[in-house]
Chain A
Amino acid sequence: DSGVTQTPKHLITATGQRVTLRCSPRSGDLSVYWYQQSLDQGLQFLIQYYNGEERAKGNILERFSAQQFPDLHSELNLSSLELGDSALYFCASSTQGGFRLDTQYFGPGTRLTVL
Chain B
Amino acid sequence: DAKTTQPNSMESNEEEPVHLPCNHSTISGTDYIHWYRQLPSQGPEYVIHGLTSNVNNRMASLAIAEDRKSSTLILHRATLRDAAVYYCILRESGGSNYKLTFGKGTLLTVNP
Contact = CB atoms under 8 A, between A and B. Distances in A.
Interface stretch (B58-66, B73-81, B94-102): B94-102
Contacts, number: 61
Contacts of A43: 38, 44, 87, 100, 102
Given A42-B102, A42-B103, A56-B98, A100 B43 contact: no
A36 to B, nearest CB: 11
A109 B43 contact: yes
Contacts of B103: 42
A103 to B, nearest CB: 5
B82 to A, nearest CB: 17
A25 B45 CA distance: 15
The size bracket of the interface on B is 20 to 34
Interface of A: 2, 4, 31, 33, 35, 42-45, 48, 55-56, 58, 90, 92, 97-98, 100-101, 103-109
B46 A98 contact: no
A107 B43 contact: yes
Given A45-B99, A56-B99, A100-B32, A2 B43 contact: yes
A45 B100 contact: yes
Q: Pick the 6 closest A-B CB pairs, nearest first.
A: A98-B98, A106-B43, A45-B99, A43-B102, A100-B91, A56-B98
B104 interface: yes
Contacts of B97: 98, 100
B96 A56 contact: yes
A92 to B, nearest CB: 7
B84 to A, nearest CB: 13
A48 B49 contact: no
Contacts of A31: 98
B98 A90 contact: no
B98 A103 contact: no
